[in-house]
Amino acid sequence: MGGNANTRKMRSLVLQRVAEKGQKRIAERIESTVTRISRFFSGNGGLTLDEVIETLDENDLKVVDKDAITISAEEYAALKLFARKGLKD
C-alpha cells in the first residue's frame, strides 16, 4: 500500500467500515459472494482496494461518512469570512 495521505485515510476508513459490517453482509447487500468480496479486499479479484481508492483520489473524490454534511472549500471560506465579520460587530 502506497499512496498519499488522502488515499491512506480513505483506505483506512473503508477497511474499518468493512470490518464493522462484515464481508457477508456486504456481499448480501450487493448480491455477490463472500468469496468475491474477500478476493477484492485481498487484491485477488480484479481491481484492488488501493486502485479504487487511488482512482477516487485522482478524480478529486473522497470517501466520507454517509451522514457527513459537506460543503465546497469556497463555501467554507465564505462562512469563515462571515463568521469573522460577525464576531467583530
CB atoms within 10 A of CB 70: 9
Position 55 scores a pLDDT of 73
pLDDT band for position 1 (50/70/90)? low
Q: Which residue has the higher pLDDT, 55 or 18?
A: 18
Domains of the chain from N-terminus onward: 5-88 (1.10.260.40)
Which residue carries 488522502 as its cell? Answer: 6
- The letter for the amino acid at 84 is R
pTM: 0.60
* Band of residue 45 on the pLDDT scale cut at 50, 70, 90: confident
Residue 52: the pLDDT is: 83
